[in-house]
């Protein structure tokens, strides 16, 4: 099956697919790998909900999710997220308050 997408919509479709793929991997990691770091036998098989994931693919995904580099970066970002007072915002000002500052020319 093929979909015909115009050139203008091609970037939109590809960026949307990339975002959904990243979200899916994040969901798998948060729900099925990180909670069971100490219990490796529970993550030896793909989740029943996602039967389309093959064992070899799952093993590679788990190995990347348990790598020292990933765990290090994840813990650093978790610490940063704990410190944030305003989640997903530009402080208390928000966009409306910062719009005034953005219009001012930068000195320097």
What integer pLDDT is reported at residue 97 of this predicted model?
Answer: 73
Task: Say which DSSP state 90 is in.
Answer: S
**pTM of the predicted model over 0.85:** no
Task: Report the pLDDT value the prediction gives residue 28, as an integer from 0 to 100.
Answer: 95
Look at residue 81 in the predicted model and tell me its pLDDT.
Answer: 84
User: Which pLDDT score, from 0 to 100, does residue 19 have?
Assistant: 96
Structure confidence by residue, pLDDT tens digits, 38-90? 998 999 999 999 999 999 999 999 999 999 999 899 999 889 888 877 666 66
């Amino acid at each position: 099956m093929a979909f015909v997408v115009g050139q203008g919509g091609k970037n939109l479709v590809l960026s949307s697919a990339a975002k959904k793929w990243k979200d899916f991997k994040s969901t798998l990691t948060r729900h099925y790998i990180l909670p069971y770091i100490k219990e490796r036998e529970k993550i030896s098989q793909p989740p029943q909900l996602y039967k389309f994931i093959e064992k070899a693919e799952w093993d590679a995904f788990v190995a990347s999710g348990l790598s020292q580099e990933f765990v290090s970066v994840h813990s650093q970002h978790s610490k940063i997220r704990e410190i944030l007072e305003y989640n997903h915002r530009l402080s208390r000002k928000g966009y409306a308050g910062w719009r005034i500052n953005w219009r001012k020319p930068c000195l320097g």
